[in-house]
Structure 1
Amino acid sequence: MTKAFADGTGMDSPARARELRRWLALYAKLQVGDASWAYRSFAQLVSDHGFYQQPSPWVHDGLQRPGQCFSTASQWAERAGWTYVEGYVLVPSAAPFSCFEHAWCLTDQGVADPCLPDGTAVGYVGIPLTDSFRRQQQALRATHAVFVADPVNPLAGINEDVLRAGLPSQAVAGHGPGPRSAASL
Structure 2
Amino acid sequence: MTTQPYTGGHGEGEGETEQELRRWIELCRQLKVGDASWAHPSFADLVAACGFYQPPAAWTHGGTQQPGRCFQTASEWAERAGWTYVEGSAFVPSAAPFSCIEHAWCLNDGDVADPSLPDGIATGYIGIPLSHTFRRQQQAIRGTDAVFVSDPRNPLTGINTDVLRTGLPTHAVAVHPQRPDIAQPSSGVQPSSLPSPSSWDRGSDRHTHP
TM bin (shorter chain)? 0.7 to 0.9
Give the equivalent residue in structure 1 for 2:161: 160
Give the equivalent residue in structure 1 for 2:50: 49
Q: How does 1:10-89 map to 2 (within 5 A)?
A: 14-89=15-90
Give the equivalent residue in structure 1 for 2:123: 122
Equivalents in 2 of 1:30, 1:68: separation in Å? 24
Equivalents in 2 of 1:91, 1:106: separation in Å? 19
What is the one-letter code of the residue matched to 1:165? T
Deviation for aligned residue 1:178: 7.5
Equivalents in 1 of 2:29, 2:60: separation in Å? 34
Deviations 1:100-137 (A, max 9, x none): 10000001050000011111110000000000000000
Equivalents in 1 of 2:141, 2:123: separation in Å? 32
More relative contact order in 1 or in 2 (CA 8 Å, sep 6+)?
1
What is the one-letter code of the residue matched to 1:86? E
Conservation of the 8 A alpha-carbon contact between 1:52 and 1:179? no
- The list of structure 1 runs, each at least 4 consecutive aligned residues, that deviate by more than 4 angstroms after superposition, is 178-181
TM-score, length basis structure 1: 0.88
What is the one-letter code of the residue matched to 1:81? G
What is the number of equivalent residue pairs in this alignment? 169
**1:131 aligns to 2:152 (yes or no):** no
**1:149 aligns to 2:150 (yes or no):** yes
Q: Where in structure 2 are there 5+ consecutive unaligned residues?
A: 1-13, 183-210
Equivalents in 2 of 1:37, 1:130: separation in Å? 23
Conservation of the 8 A alpha-carbon contact between 1:104 and 1:113? yes
Residue aligned with 2:148, SS: coil
TM-score, length basis structure 2: 0.78
- In the superposition, relative to structure 1, how do residues 113 and 33 fare at CA in structure 2: closer, same or farther (>3 Å)? same
Equivalents in 2 of 1:24, 1:91: separation in Å? 13
RMSD: 1.5
Equivalents in 1 of 2:48, 2:34: separation in Å? 18
Residue aligned with 1:67, SS: coil
Give the equivalent residue in structure 1 for 2:192: none
Give the equivalent residue in structure 1 for 2:3: none
